[in-house]
A and B are shown apart, each in its own frame.
Chain A
């Protein structure tokens, strides 16, 4: 028995050693689009769903906001819908991302109806939290580690051999270290056509319709309450801006149908916390590639505009 135990021990140690060695190799290169969001804290954050994840460039904000007094080094801590709707789980994750001593951070809270929805069958806060705990921000406890082995174990979703071969970025998406996922309309050997955009937009609309039919969602008061808690928490660490991102008019029409008073509600919440609410949903000049997410040139333009609005607010908070 002793002999076999020694053999098992040697093989187990070899397994653990290999595992951590190859995780380390992977972490030194490119892991995936969300990895850099889990490697460090940041005093200024972009928070929300995929529209913010795709649509706001931290670097551009930092480059324009240099003139105002804030603790820079923005991090885009927004995720796809299932990963980061407002709620207790996202709130706790955000708390971990901000250094305790932060007093002059800037926090951009992107909002859309999807940020506040819950599946119709989940009624209690506990059930909603349990759902959120399965998301990326819910299942990873170490949010500020580099290399982040816990992220690789739970959030990577691929194979470690990827660390051994050069990373070939997908043709049109570029992942930035500050958490921004840039979607380019053209890349080497590939051009997104008008037909592609029309097709993706119709897919988005069809997808929303199907979801509402087969897997309906309703507005969650629990998520709204946690959103308010988040604003009040972030206000202790700096200035909060509530932002509704630009989107395709057809998708906007659908959202406004689901939740007619959304803008009014956001205006009221923002006013009650004395934070500005910027509604860009009608800004038609910023084009999406799929009805919902801004493509690279427009995301850059929009980031400039957002930064300028923030600057203007700092100069004249009564605007």
Chain B
């Protein structure tokens, strides 16, 4: 079992060429239990080495998909330190995915309201990205919020809110 090789495949280099649309779920699904355990440990270790400004959200999302209980202390710690809204939302959604911590819902909706700021040149892109993390909660508050955005006047915002709702 070559964990380094698995990690390199599951978490490829973080550039556009390797990450554009990259989906590691099929790769993870093919792993044995031992390989998944090894991957989990390696990713937690990797996360511990990253500063809050350089968190690779693909690692966080992968740990959530692995339902990694072991990663929770690290994720909570990162959530407390992280100041970047989209990363915060990713971590909150991932924690919720692992342990259904409902306190994450308020954090998520709070993040949405913060990034809905037309003064930010990237606000459309941030919002559209955020919707897909918000959709992971499948809770009344988050669904209601997405429904509101599905009626937004900005085409890309309403389109993505509808897509996130499914």
Q: Tell me whether A and B are bound partners.
A: no
